[in-house]
Structure 1
Amino acid sequence: MRATTDFADSLIPAMSLDSPSDNAMTALYRVALGPVNTAHYLPIFARFDATGRTTTSWNWAACLFTLNWMVFRQLWSAALVYVAAAEGLALLVFGMGRSFLQWPQGVEWGVLGAFAVLAFAVPGLYGNAILHADIRKRIARALAASRTVPEACAVLDQQASSRKRLHIVVLANLVFAAAAAVAYLLLPQSGVTARTWDTAVTVAEAASAASAASAASAASTASTASATATPASSAAEAAPAPASASPATETSPPPPPPASGVSTATERADVPLPVAPPSAAPKAPVTKVVPPAPSASKATTAPASSKAAAKTAAKPKTPTASAALSAATPAAVGTTAGYYINVGLFADEANARKAQARLLNEGLPAFRQELNNSNGRRIRVRVGPYDSRAKADAAAASIRAMALDAVVFKQGR
């Protein structure tokens, strides 16, 4: 992967075996990386600078602990891209894949496994290159904001990843693992309680239904017995009075009709009696199940209100964040008002890098500027800015002692 020309390249010379800036750049890299695993990264960064390009190299920390490694090394942009890519791919597989593509379960697991391999392999292969590019940007910002290399080292030391930061990351992982374990232990117990409550309600409903059915059968048996006794008594009354049999036949039904009356009475007794008890029986379980509904509505209303409050609270913070970003943007190199020293104009970029490296080794704030004119591309090397003419003249004298040109001029103000 070819290294691109950026703001960092205009301030930081490339490292090579014959360049006198190796010591200065190594010191800057060492301070920017911090005390954790510095010896592992310095040879890799030296190889990148010597070849002028970043190549793939394996990083176990970036492979196995990707997000933790990015948080520890303060690679915020890379971490955001990594999380967004992981969420997007998961949504693609389990959201659109199931709704529109209708993949079989085996295909879903295969795609998920491929994404998991990429999630570990890509950070492992390109982790060193990503860290190298970010460290170079930090060094460039520190050199632009400082007047000497020691001041830049002090700025980088404040921003470097320390052992205290490593301990905080490890502690955060332990807390997260403990919270996940507690949630795993508590959730099954609540599920068992809910299933026990549902079983108790079902048993109560079954018992009430059984009692209602037994009461209905007992009532139907009693009505059948009373209906059977009614025609027997009417027949006994009709036997001593044969003369009044004709009026009796006119006013009361004959003996066969009472039998049909018994069946109709039995049907009437059978129809309403089973219906009435079940209507009263379910009332007990219904009263037990209905009361939790208000708490559920309150529970759903509370997260909704909290989400709305969080959105309204997050909106006013947007201007502050944008203002902080705009304030943190460094000024362009060579635009600050003050006294500068023109060292030379080079047609060969390698010569310009060597001149800048010699100046940086002497503790002078040297930088390069690219110019395009009728003669072609030129690289200008300057030193500064300085607050006073006296400081600029003193620096110019030291530059002339190095057999380099030094022309002092004033810019701005």
Structure 2
Amino acid sequence: MRMTFTKPILAVALIAAGLQPAMGQCAASKDGTIGWSTPTFAKMIDVDMTALENTFIGTDGSQQADGSDTFSDDRLGEVYKTGTLLTPIYGIDGNPNGVKWPIQYYNAAFAPTQVTSALAKMATNPNSVSKYGDPCWDNSYVISGHTYKPEKPGFIEFCKRGALASAPGVSRQGYIVIPHIPHVEVLQWYFSSTSWLRGMKVDIKYGDGDWEPLRWMPTAFQKGPYTGFSEQGYQLEQVIGEDDISLRFKVWDGGDVTDPDTGEIAKIGLGPTPLTTSQVVRIHTIRIFSDVIPTEAPSVGIAQNTVSKISIYKSGKDVVLSSEADVDIYSIDGKIVSSSLNTKKVDLSNLSSGIYIVKAKVADGSVSNVKIAL
């Protein structure tokens, strides 16, 4: 089984152009490589967010899609919808070739005319900042390394809500899936939120395998600065170069990432889980580059809630699960080092220090993958 992960790398210090923060210097970003290249491959998919059918009822992009933090369940189906949309496939010549590729969405809202929260706030307050008056987090897109903006309006917003008390095993957190793309060389995407320090996950599936992390941008509940510019948005790119790829974009629902300063696991995502309320996240751009242009689209059904129903965390030398599951532990190079059936706890005391992947599968077939450090 292939297990690949992208480690964040240390970015340069982000200094506000012409500004001198009271504390002297802006903190270094831990978000890793940011920005787009100019791929030499054909731009096969370029999702046009302006063509979406509007479900956004907020005043502007500074509000979440349902217009308030007071969420009502009737907004599911009214604002946040579930289904499949179709996006054109572009040929080598840059023109649509007549094929429409499916994008499955679950509890997603469409805002074809809205801009980022930062731009919406700047329209009424040119001095808007994302972090309590700190010029390091200016909303005007002048901070070095963060001057890019979405090229046009429009986004897909994911519902941030977890499970209901009446259905504790069913998450309402939103996501989208682009299934079984014949070949992906480069993925480019742009995401934002309604405030700073709000993250998201992009997962990848090879063929009919399990979902694995591709690029995780964590919500900084306990350690930062991660995703400090989420209100302004992030322009991100991943080189993949593989066949039969599915991609999933979702809200940050917990997990660990490697701190690029120390090489240690940063316990930053302990706040949300797939079954608790997270934070708003939006996708403004999705572009896929490839040298393989499909001539026929896959047949898919309506997106289903495949979010894992199990929470996994490390306690001392044990891995503890919220419910019984079959558990495999993988070394970082993809080798199985431990297997257990129908358990809620796995003893890791016999394993050497390092990074491991915990894969837990519950009775209904849903799977959760979590990275841990010993």
Q: Whose strand fraction is larger, Structure 1's or Structure 2's?
A: 2
Larger Rg: 1
Q: Which TM-score tier does this pair reach, normalised by the shorter chain?
A: under 0.3
